[in-house]
Amino acid sequence: MTYQPEPVDTERIALPEELLPLLEMLARNTHENWARSRMEQGWAYGEARDDVKKQHPCLIPYEQLSEAEKEYDRTTSAQTLKLILALGFKITR
């Protein structure tokens, strides 16, 4: 049996500009949760990823991540927001 991912199609969903600050907050929080989980598992900062030593170069504050690393978290967050909208929910403040 081969796994075939079937995410909800959010390709046609455009995020309203007013949600962009929320997107960035979600991306930062995604990183913070990932980092906390890793640290709880005994991981620490290291200049290169080393699974044996449990070291990872992204165990730094979100603001210090490269744009490529931040973009990974933004993409995850954007897909979450798009799914919420695709399912018919409204996001209001």
Is residue 46, in this structure, part of any structural domain at all?
yes
Is residue 26, in this structure, part of any structural domain at all?
no
State the residue range of the domain holding 59.
42-86
pTM over 0.75: yes
Is residue 48, in this structure, part of any structural domain at all?
yes
How far is 31 from 10, CA to CA, in rounded Å?
22
Is residue 22, in this structure, part of any structural domain at all?
no
pLDDT band at 23 (very low <50, low <70, confident <90, very high): very high
pLDDT band at 93 (very low <50, low <70, confident <90, very high): confident
pLDDT at 57 exceeding the cut of 90: yes
Is residue 24, in this structure, part of any structural domain at all?
no
Is residue 33, in this structure, part of any structural domain at all?
no
Residues 6+ apart with CB under 8 A from 10: 79, 82, 83, 85, 86
- The answer to whether the CB of 20 falls within 8 A of the CB of 14 is no
Counting the structural domains of the chain, the total is 1
User: For all residues of the chain together, what is the average pLDDT?
Assistant: 96
What pLDDT, in 10s, does the model give residues 32-48? 999 999 999 999 999 99
SS3 state at 55: strand
Is residue 52, in this structure, part of any structural domain at all?
yes
How far is 4 from 93, CA to CA, in rounded Å?
36
How far is 13 from 93, CA to CA, in rounded Å?
20
Say what percent of the chain tops pLDDT 70: 100
